[in-house]
Chains A and B, each alone.
Chain A
């Protein structure tokens, strides 16, 4: 069965600090997809990135970057030069290849960026 673990329940940083959110996943499938979503206080989940199991290249998008390592079953998310607007709950999620877009979410990490 698939499982996603986000060991960090809460993280608090000061603005402009870099912060890394950890995600470890479990799956028996060789084809799977990993996602990160952001959930601000309004409640609506905002899609950030999708990665498939065959693409281990790291990705950078502005201040966001993702490190995918199959050897450690991890898909970590780094925010560089954090801003107050980054404060939210961040979820890592997994979709196995034969289950379409059905997502298994981790428990989330509450990130607070203080001015």
Chain B
């Protein structure tokens, strides 16, 4: 039973560029959430996708956008990268929109230079 997978593992980008991160949820899960974790801090909620729609959004600018595909996989896009966007980006999956435990992927380490 595959868990949550994310790609790529590491990524280095330059300020102003755009980046796309990918996530495949755990088998049987249909809800995907994205979190940003800066070094030494707790994860911060970016947004959540269910039934291919953004259901909830945290306090992140419009430069952060996402998408969910019919197979429940998801992408996180960040435009006009800033140095402050350097972080570990975590994807989590669960069932529906209730309060169940979320399963996290290993994350994508994004470095903006």
The interface of chain A, by Cβ under 8 A from chain B, is 4, 33, 35, 37, 42-47, 50, 52, 91, 93, 95, 97, 99-108
- Residues of A close to B99: CB separation below 8 A: 33, 50, 52, 95, 97, 100-101
Q: Is A106 in contact with B42, judged by CB distance below 8 angstroms?
A: yes
A93 and B45 alpha carbons, distance in the complex (Å): 11
Distance in angstroms from A99 CB to nearest chain B CB is 7
Q: Is A47 in contact with B106, judged by CB distance below 8 angstroms?
A: no
Given A44-B105, A45-B104, A47-B102, decide whether A100 and B42 contact each other with a Cβ distance below 8 A: no
- Residues of A close to B33: CB separation below 8 A: 101-103
A103 and B90 alpha carbons, distance in the complex (Å): 12
Given A33-B99, A95-B99, A100-B99, decide whether A45 and B88 contact each other with a Cβ distance below 8 A: no
Q: Closest residue of chain A to B106, judged by CB?
A: A44
- Residues of B close to A37: CB separation below 8 A: 104
Central interface residue in B40, B44, B101, by most chain A CB within 10 Å: B101
Q: Is A100 in contact with B55, judged by CB distance below 8 angstroms?
A: yes
A105 and B42 alpha carbons, distance in the complex (Å): 6
A35 and B99 alpha carbons, distance in the complex (Å): 11
The interface of chain B, by Cβ under 8 A from chain A, is 31, 33, 35, 40-45, 48, 55-56, 58, 88, 90, 92, 94, 97-107, 109
Given A35-B101, A43-B88, A44-B107, decide whether A101 and B31 contact each other with a Cβ distance below 8 A: yes
- Residues of A close to B42: CB separation below 8 A: 4, 91, 93, 105-108
Q: Is B101 in contact with A47, judged by CB distance below 8 angstroms?
A: yes
Distance in angstroms from B5 CB to nearest chain A CB is 11
Q: Is B56 in contact with A99, judged by CB distance below 8 angstroms?
A: yes
A-B residue pairs, 3 tightest by C-beta: A105-B42, A45-B104, A100-B97
Q: Closest residue of chain B to A110, judged by CB?
A: B40
Given A45-B90, A105-B42, A106-B42, decide whether A100 and B98 contact each other with a Cβ distance below 8 A: yes
Central interface residue in A37, A93, A103, by most chain B CB within 10 Å: A103
A104 and B94 alpha carbons, distance in the complex (Å): 16
- Residues of B close to A97: CB separation below 8 A: 99
